[in-house]
Amino acid sequence: MTTPSPTPSAPRKYFGTDGIRGRVGEHPITPEFVLGLGMALGHILAKRFSEPSVLIGKDTRVSGYMLEAALESGLASAGVDVVLAGPMPTPAIAYLTRTLRLSAGVVISASHNPFEDNGLKFFDSQGEKLPDAWELEMEAALEGPLSCTSPQLVGKARRLEDAGGRYIEFCKSTFPAGLNLRGLRLVVDAAHGAAYHVASDVFHELGAEVFSLGNRPDGFNINQLVGATAPEAMASLTAEMDADYGIALDGDGDRLIMADRSGRIFNGDELLYVVGKHRTAKRGKAAVGGLVGTLMSNLALEQRIEAMGLDFRRARVGDRYVLEMLKETGWQIGGESSGHLICLDRHSTGDGLVSALQVLGAVVDSGQALAQLLSDLVLYPQVLLNVPIQEGRDWREHAAFKQAQKDVLRELGSNGRLLVRASGTEPLLRIMVECREESLAQVLAERLARTLSG
């Protein structure tokens, strides 16, 4: 079984699937470029708003200071007022931009990447991902001359002192009314990232006993052996402290991976299933409609969702594409196996803390442990290989590779999936084989990789 990817949107020079990202000091992650980017965004906002204002947040990377200053200067030079939130999770900036009635929000972060990288994510006034048209307009503006506005129109800047408290209260408001977390012991891993000063408080204020991990950022240790991309540390501490559950976020707080006291780690597919299953039980199939996954979502998840009487659709890899498909279908719940979960009945974007509260809400409301809620979902093994692509060589026209794909699909039949896609950020081809037997998936994936590199 293979699923074609939806048609990509218009090509961009700088913007990827989630803003702009790269290594600090190398184009485009330089002060000069970010200054111009701020000016470009500012001029676009000035055409759409009479008194434009932008909220800027960041994660804990040391380079955030430099890029924040450059972005603030660019926006102010275009006549835009700036509100500085300091280190705050990406979904917090989306929420605060909307509730403060600001024109846009920008997060300086490279999410789950190491500290050497950084980037910028953008939200519109409704706390949603910046429209494609805006990204294209910004790129066009960067190609032309950008000038400072007149002196009397230069923007001002102020700091939002209570950003953390506002966001904590918002997260708590998404937990089911009438329930609490009293009696639960939780490990909360903030990945030394943007949620380091708010994550534990959310669960503590709802009644849980909390053990904090990854809450001591130094500018360099973000995502370093902790967080959603390295959940083993969280799972180990959860077992060591005999905690009920562990919660791991990534550097900017929009991903979620969980574990239980046995050390079992639950990925995004499993957590998405728990939320969808609970929503269906509470509201009915008609109200839920269906769930959105991605091309990487496990086949077993798709089969279980459909067995529940719900529809399941796959978007391109990337939470922005999950969000786009949710809007197309009118559904509310979607996510990625990497831990990006979106609950549009709770937030306009993916949020690790809000997602964790939805999962814990299902646990508390049902009276069942997380493993029990997942007893009817057994994920198929997935083998993912990254194969370097030779420059100037089109893998789509590689005759032997095309034949090998046909052979693998024939061998898998209806009991597995093959997904071949090019990386959006590196010269790599990602080959994923999924079936009931991990050994077979490994053999088939390696066969494809050898064919391509041979």
Q: State yes or no: is 103 an active-site residue.
A: no
Radius of gyration of the chain (CA): 22
Other C-beta atoms lying within 10 Å of the C-beta of residue 27: 10
Q: Is the Cβ–Cβ distance between 211 and 241 less than 8 Å?
A: yes
Query: 374: which DSSP letter?
Result: T
Among the options 53, 63, 111, 297, which is catalytic? 111
Amino acid letter, residue 215? N
Using alpha carbons only, give the angle 24, 27, 138 rounded to the nearest 5 degrees: 110
- In the chain, DSSP finds a helix count (H) and a strand count (E) of 15, 18
Phi and psi at residue 240, in whole multiples of 5°? Answer: -65, -40
Q: Which residue has the tokens 């293979």?
A: 2
State yes or no: cis peptide before 28, omega within 30 of 0: yes
The shares of helix, strand and coil residues in the chain, as percent rounded to the nearest 5, are 40, 20, 40
Q: Which residue has the tokens 């939806």?
A: 6
Beta strands in 88-162 (DSSP E): 104-108, 117-123, 157-159
Q: Are 220 and 205 in contact (CB under 8 A)?
A: no
Q: How far is it, in rounded angstroms, from Cα 353 to Cα 365?
A: 18
> Residue 60: which residues within 8 A CB-CB, separation 6 or more?
87, 192, 193, 194, 196, 217, 219, 222, 251
- Dihedral (C-alpha) 11, 13, 17, 23: value to the nearest 10 degrees? 160
Task: Return the active site residues.
Answer: 111
